[in-house]
Amino acid sequence: MNRYDKAFKEEAVRLSDEIGPKKAAEQLGVAYHTLQGWRKQRTLHWCSVHNKGV
């Protein structure tokens, strides 16, 4: 099982926003579902920060 640091994950998510998650996963050598999980975590974090009490 690979472990990735926070900076790598953030860069991977940023790249996936630019070129799409499938291409980013291939380019970085990360499983597509792993990258999708990071993208989902980002969305959940953003929602929890910006929609408190909702």
DSSP letter for 2, please: -
Q: How far apart are CA 16 and CA 35, in angstroms?
A: 8
pLDDT of residue 49: 72
pLDDT of residue 52: 57
Please tell me the pTM assigned to this model.
0.76
Residue 24 CB burial class (10 angstroms; 0-12, 13-18, ≥19): buried
Collapsing DSSP to helix, strand or coil, 52 comes out as coil
Q: Which two tokens stand for residue 45?
A: 């974090």
| Segment 25-39, tens digit of pLDDT | 999 999 999 999 999
Q: Which residue has the higher pLDDT, 44 or 5?
A: 5
pLDDT beyond 50 at 19: yes
Q: Tell me what the mean pLDDT of segment 39-44 comes to.
A: 84
The structure tokens 């959940």 sit at 44
